[in-house]
């Protein structure tokens, strides 16, 4: 199999060198060119024919957003990974880039670290993304959209919707969330793998276009129907019983699946409190975070939906769940909202959500 061809675009010589050396150290990657700004990058794409482009957000002459607009017009399916600073401005521009069609993003290492430390950060964060995005074509014999024979047999009404998503998630959520019914009678909790600041901006943007109330969780919120709670970057979000209801809680326990927030952490507490009343939804994402949480939901009689391979940016998280036989349905992204609306529309639900009476009290992990 030929190596993945990468074009590195950044106005900083040091960053171009860091990224190039971090990627070139892998035998499956070939850096076929570099560019100092967007204008040069658009020329190099035609010359080098890359499989993946890494694109700096802020550059002279033609910045990342303008470059992306031109690139998407001529190369609509070419994977593009934005490289952003971990600042308010960098996060905002990156969210704009994702809305314009960027495939994924990373945050650059801080300038306080050494050259070797920065290179390791790029190896850890960028290399897996490049490899995952270079294998986007569905594999032969891959799982197609399906409905399990057991679908629809459970009588327990849906009491909560728990969503886990990673690579490609902001765009997937921007498709899914506006299609949810405005009178949705259950709360929604979401883990999207993102760093601090990014999750708050994501919540604000979804709230502006979604019929439901969307917010980044601050911890301690009592779950209410028609409200959406997104785990903040850098914190695990769990659910805990509080008086007669259920509330969010945040902690900074160790990462799981190299993630914090992690889908498994949230799904475990959702399953322990809501049991068969849980609807778990696994969307596009790299890795297998959410697999063990879905196993717990399944064991307690809850339902699980997974996004199909064709509509996923990376069919890692939903692929593991589907291949484990845990998904009741594997669906294209544009069909998932309708299925959620159908499953969550059966019967009246209380406006403040109490746990199932038969479930034991779940304490938040320390």
Q: What is the pLDDT of residues 187-209, one digit of tens each?
A: 999 999 999 999 999 999 999 99
Domain-terminating residue out of 87, 108, 133: 133
Do 222 and 272 fall within a single domain?
Answer: yes
pLDDT above 50: residue 363: no
Q: Where does the pLDDT of residue 142 fall: very low under 50, low under 70, confident under 90, or very high at 90 and above?
A: low
Overall domain count for the chain: 2
State whether 174 and 110 are in the same domain. no
pLDDT at 131: 94
Residue reference for tokens 């035609």? 46
State residue 138's pLDDT score: 46
**Structural contact between residues 189 and 229, judged by C-beta atoms closer than 8 angstroms:** yes
What confidence tier does 354 reach under pLDDT thresholds 50, 70, 90? Answer: very low
H or E stretch covering 4: strand 4-9
Domain assignment present for 296: yes
Per the domain annotation, does 119 fall within a domain? yes
Confidence of residue 250 (pLDDT cuts 50, 70, 90): very high
Tokens 């609807």 belong to: 279
Residues 156 and 113 grouped into a single domain = no
> What is the pLDDT averaged over residues 158-171?
97
Structure tokens at 341: 């609306």
Assign 255 a pLDDT band (cuts: 50, 70, 90). Answer: very high
Q: The domain that contains 42 carries what CATH number?
A: 3.40.50.2300
Query: Are both 125 and 270 inside the same structural domain?
Result: no
- Kindly tell me if the per-residue pLDDT of 32 is higher than 50: yes
Q: What is the pLDDT of residues 81-102, one digit of tens each?
A: 999 988 889 999 999 999 999 9
Domain C-terminal end among 133, 154, 183:
133
Residues 225 and 333 in one domain: yes
Residue after which a domain boundary falls, among 90, 109, 133: 133
| Residues 150 and 118 both lie in one domain | no
In sequence order, what DSSP letters do the residues of 148-214 get, joined into one string?
-TTTT---SPP-EEEEEE-TTHHHHHHHHGGGS-TT--S-EEEEE---TTHHHHHHHHHHHH-SSEE
What average pLDDT does the segment 256-276 reach? 97
Are 360 and 269 within 8 A, CB to CB?
A: no
Q: What is the pLDDT of residue 148?
A: 55
Contact predicate 69/83, CB 8 Å:
no
Q: 200 and 90, same structural domain?
A: no
CATH of the domain at 241: 3.40.50.180
pLDDT at 347: 45
Residues carrying an active site annotation? 166, 193, 289
Whether residue 21 is contained in a domain is answered as: yes
In this structure, are 113 and 191 located in the same domain?
Answer: no
Q: Is residue 106 domain-shared with residue 251, that is, in the same domain?
A: no
CA distance 354 to 94: 38
Domain that holds residue 56: 4-133
Are both 128 and 170 inside the same structural domain? no
The whole-number pLDDT of residue 114 equals: 85
Whether the pLDDT of residue 296 is over 60: the answer is yes
Helix (H) or strand (E) holding 266: helix 263-274
More confident residue, 148 or 315: 315
174 and 115 together in one domain: no
Do 128 and 195 belong together in one domain? Answer: no
The 3-state DSSP composition of the chain as helix, strand, coil percent (nearest 5) reads 35, 20, 40
- C-alpha 128/C-alpha 175 separation (Å) is 25
Instruction: In whole angstroms, give the CA distance from residue 213 to residue 131.
Output: 36
Helix (H/G/I), strand (E/B), else coil: 208:
helix
The whole-number pLDDT of residue 36 equals 96
pLDDT of residue 355: 42
pLDDT of res. 147: 59
């Amino acid at each position: 199999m030929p190596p993945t061809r990468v074009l590195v675009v950044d106005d900083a010589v040091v960053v171009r060198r860091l990224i190039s050396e971090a990627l070139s150290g892998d035998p499956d990657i070939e850096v076929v060119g570099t560019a100092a700004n967007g204008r040069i990058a658009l020329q190099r794409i035609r010359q080098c024919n890359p499989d993946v482009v890494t694109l700096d957000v802020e550059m002279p002459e033609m910045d990342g957003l303008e470059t992306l607009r031109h690139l998407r017009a001529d190369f609509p399916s070419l994977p593009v990974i934005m490289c952003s600073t971990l600042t308010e401005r960098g996060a905002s521009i990156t969210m704009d880039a994702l809305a314009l069609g960027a495939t994924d993003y990373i945050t650059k290492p801080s300038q306080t670290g050494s050259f070797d430390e920065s290179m390791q950060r790029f190896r850890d964060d960028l290399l897996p993304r490049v490899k995952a995005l270079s294998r986007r074509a569905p594999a032969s014999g891959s799982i197609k959209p399906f409905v399990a024979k057991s679908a629809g047999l459970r009588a327990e009404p849906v009491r909560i919707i728990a969503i886990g998503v990673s690579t490609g998630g902001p765009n997937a959520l921007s498709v899914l969330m506006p299609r949810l019914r405005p009178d949705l009678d259950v709360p929604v909790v979401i883990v999207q793998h993102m760093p601090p600041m990014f999750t708050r901006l994501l919540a604000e943007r979804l709230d502006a276009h979604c019929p439901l109330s969307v917010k980044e969780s601050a911890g301690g919120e009592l779950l209410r129907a028609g409200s959406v709670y997104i785990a903040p970057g850098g914190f695990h979000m769990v659910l805990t019983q509080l008086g007669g209801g259920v509330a969010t809680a945040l902690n900074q326990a160790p990462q799981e699946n190299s993630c914090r927030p992690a889908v498994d952490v949230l799904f475990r507490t959702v399953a322990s409190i809501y049991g068969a009343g849980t609807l778990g939804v696994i969307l596009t994402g790299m890795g297998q975070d959410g697999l063990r949480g879905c196993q717990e939901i399944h064991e307690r009689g809850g339902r699980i939906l997974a996004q199909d391979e064709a509509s996923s940016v990376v069919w890692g998280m939903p692929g593991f769940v589907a291949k484990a036989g845990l998904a009741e349905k594997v669906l294209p992204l544009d069909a998932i909202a309708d299925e959620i609306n159908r499953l969550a529309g059966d019967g009246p639900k209380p406006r403040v959500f109490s746990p199932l009476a038969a479930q034991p009290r779940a304490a938040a992990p320390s």
